[in-house]
Amino acid sequence: MRKQKKIQYLPRLSFDDYSKWMVRNHQKFSTAVWFDHRDLKLLLEDLLSMSNEFEGNDDTGRGESYRESQKNIAARVKGIKSLFEIIFSSQDPKSLPENFIVLDVLGGNGTLFRAFELIYGTEIQNPMFTSDMAGEMIQSAYGFGIPCIRQKAQNLLLKDQSMDGVILAYGTHHIPKKERLQAVQEAHRVLKNLGNLLIHDFEIGSAMDHWFKEVVHRYSPTGHDYPHFSKAEMNSYFIEAGFRNHEIIELYDPFCVSATSEELAIDALLDYVGNMYGLHKLVGEKPFQSEKKFQLLKLIEKYFRYSNFDSVLGAGESATRELSIKKTGDQFIAEIPRVALVGLAKKD
């Protein structure tokens, strides 16, 4: 432990100060961290030598605008709630054991942690453990006081069999293809027996795959050259990592943005999508210009569109097949559909 004491782990926090903070404030989660790993110093050096586009907002990054969009936790809460129900095996979160922990491997600055609070309230124990390789993401989660850890999906700094659930979601395609199996093997290693792994991404050839390739890749300053998943690819990782119990489903996972009028709801949706995907080569920096926003609206109408939801989990009667606006009470909700590919596996 002495060797890594002074390592600058987060942009504004040493590893030593991080460890003390975790032990003091998040004891249940800190006991899972492998502080006495034989090669901890090497693992940290490898982690800190990497950087990705989710750090700042310069030519190489879009982290700030991503974090700005995620202040609106409600926008993705429908799909996230379905992910929780799957990972909790439909148990009421109130009755989860006190030491239950779910690792959110690609957790950003704690979107799923905050979504848990929004859905279930702050009275019950929040089991979400936010993890991410980007220093600015974990620095921000730390600022919110959320249990968090900076680590790579491919090399988790956690003990064997220490997690009840593991989620790889909202960005799994960012893990290089040749390292994805390693990330699933790591998830298998840290899961307790009977723990669930959930992998969420988009299917190659789907509406979202086209959106990323033809719109995000073109208009984000960082591009978006990341291959999505096929069902066969997800299945092969489960099998090779040693999971015997697994299945692949499709999940309704829309964006829903509300405001006090139709126009404001559309405007807020455009801000959300422009920031989330960092489409600055199209809409510029904020405040986005209105004629550019109109172009973005046309693209959203073209790409976020589905013809059927046969066997898509969560796509009930209220699911929309294209951009729609509904009035609920005094709020107008602009909703655009997305269908995600979700792989589920149980360790036995």
Contacts to ligand SAM by CB under 6 A: 52, 54, 70, 106-108, 111, 132-134, 137, 152-154, 170-171, 174-175
Tokens of 214: 């033809």
Can the peptide bond before residue 287 be classed as cis, meaning omega within 30 degrees of 0?
A: yes
Of residues 40 and 153, the one with the C-beta less far from ligand SAM: 153
Calculate helix-pair angle for 262-276, 290-303, nearest 10 degrees: 80
Backbone angles phi, psi at 10, to 5 degrees: -115, 165
| Residues 125, 292: Cα–Cα separation, whole Å | 43
Q: Least distance to ligand SAM from the beta carbon of 20, Å?
A: 23
Of residues 171 and 337, the one with the C-beta less far from ligand SAM: 171
118: Cα within 13 Å, side-chain hemisphere: 17
Q: Which residue(s) pair with 250 in the sheet?
A: 312, 341
Q: What type of residue is 204?
A: I
Of residues 140 and 332, the one with the C-beta less far from ligand SAM: 140
Of residues 132 and 335, the one with the C-beta less far from ligand SAM: 132
Of residues 54 and 288, the one with the C-beta less far from ligand SAM: 54
Q: Least distance to ligand SAM from the beta carbon of 109, Å?
A: 7
216 and 224 Cβ atoms separated by less than 8 Å: yes
Tokens of 77: 């809460």
How does strand 128-132 pair with strand 148-150? parallel
| Residues 103, 148: Cα–Cα separation, whole Å | 9
Q: Least distance to ligand SAM from the beta carbon of 21, Å?
A: 20
| Residues 172, 106: Cα–Cα separation, whole Å | 7
273 and 212 Cβ atoms separated by less than 8 Å: no
Q: Least distance to ligand SAM from the beta carbon of 208, Å?
A: 13
Q: Least distance to ligand SAM from the beta carbon of 93, Å?
A: 19
Q: Least distance to ligand SAM from the beta carbon of 193, Å?
A: 25
Of residues 186 and 250, the one with the C-beta less far from ligand SAM: 186
Of residues 278 and 337, the one with the C-beta less far from ligand SAM: 278
Neighbours of 254 (CB within 10 A): 20
